[in-house]
Amino acid sequence: MTNSDSLDDVPSPDDADRVLIGLEINMAGEKVEFKIKLPRGLATWDDLLPFMRTLIAVGSDISQEYFASRDKHVSCRAGCGICCRQRVPLAEFEAHRLRALIESMPEPRRTEVIARFRAAEQRIAELGDSISIGSDLALTMEEMSVRARKYFNLMIACPFLENESCSIYEERPLKCREYLVTSPAELCANPDSSAIVPLPLPLNVYMATLRLGNSPEDSTVRWVPLTSLMSWTDQHEPEQATRTGPELLHEFMNQLSQ
Ligand code: SF4
């Protein structure tokens, strides 16, 4: 549960185009202060991304400390990339951001990464829609789970996975940042195992991003499977900025408290 206990709009002395906003958020019983610099005028969700990442990092630290004191430690390590064969859902703005990241890569890396995406998409297309879990499909949680399992069984490595490590670690998606486990790493080879223990986080930042743009009564979620980001961004334009930084922050905090 999130409590946005205060929201102060303070002019930043060193940047007339930006505002410095102070937030105090209740994270697992701890009140944590954040200072966020945002465009005073029109902004995009990318402008809020550093804050979203910080929320996950702070929440993860709090949770890891709590469980470490009970002798439960995160077992995720560099070089262990089995979870990078799961289908990773992206918020729509993340899909556009990652596309831009790919396009900015030097050659021949850009071409190699795009080829990996196209190969993954081709393999998924060959199986028809039996494993599709795109948010445009009306599926029950059970159906989603079955399809996610089928997808995992294909062992399609994330196109960003290199030598079993994330090659875009600093830019990895929110969902990847949130997923850590305290159970033995070898259990992750079977995602159905009830013995897998994900690290619980005080806030579900990633889920909030899937509802951005909804009206208050609309709980629909929208996402883009990471492996489909090339074709999805081919067909969808990035959202135009129509709201200010503080307005976007207000909406994000509302979704976070759902
Ligand atoms: S983006 Fe990185 S962390 Fe996320 S699934 Fe791909 S390789 Fe793994």
Summarised one tens digit per residue, pLDDT across range 21-58 is: 999 999 988 899 999 999 999 999 999 999 999 999 99
Residue range 216-236: average pLDDT? 88
Q: Note if the pTM is more than 0.75.
A: yes
Residue boundaries of the structural domains of the chain = 4-256
- Which atom in ligand 1 lies closest to the alpha carbon of residue 162? 7
Tell me if 99 CB under 6 Å of ligand 1.
no
- Does the pLDDT value for residue 2 go beyond 60? no
- Which atom in ligand 1 lies closest to the alpha carbon of residue 168? 2
Tell me if 98 CB under 6 Å of ligand 1.
no
Question: Of 141, 118, 119, 145, which Cα lies nearest the Cα of 131?
Answer: 145
- To the nearest whole number, what is the mean pLDDT of the chain? 87
- Which atom in ligand 1 lies closest to the alpha carbon of residue 169? 2
Burial of residue 154, with CB atoms counted within 10 A of its CB: 0-12 exposed, 13-18 middle, 19 or more buried = middle
Tell me if 101 CB under 6 Å of ligand 1.
no
Determine if residue 118 is left, alpha or beta; phi over 0 gives left, psi from -120 to 50 gives alpha, anything else beta: alpha
Instruction: Report pLDDT digits (tens) over 172-190.
Output: 999 999 999 999 888 888 8
Other beta carbons within 10 Å of 116? 19
Tell me if 160 CB under 6 Å of ligand 1.
yes
Helices (H), the chain: 45-68, 92-103, 109-126, 141-153, 174-178, 205-209, 229-235, 245-256
CA–CA gap between residue 109 and residue 125 (Å, rounded): 24
CA–CA gap between residue 234 and residue 99 (Å, rounded): 9
- Does the pLDDT value for residue 13 go beyond 90? no
- Which atom in ligand 1 lies closest to the alpha carbon of residue 81? 8
Nearest CA to ligand 1 atom 8: 84
Tell me if 176 CB under 6 Å of ligand 1.
yes
CA–CA gap between residue 31 and residue 168 (Å, rounded): 31
CA–CA gap between residue 26 and residue 157 (Å, rounded): 37
| Cα of 244 from ligand 1 centre, angstroms | 31
Report the helix count and the strand count for the chain, using DSSP H and E: 8, 9
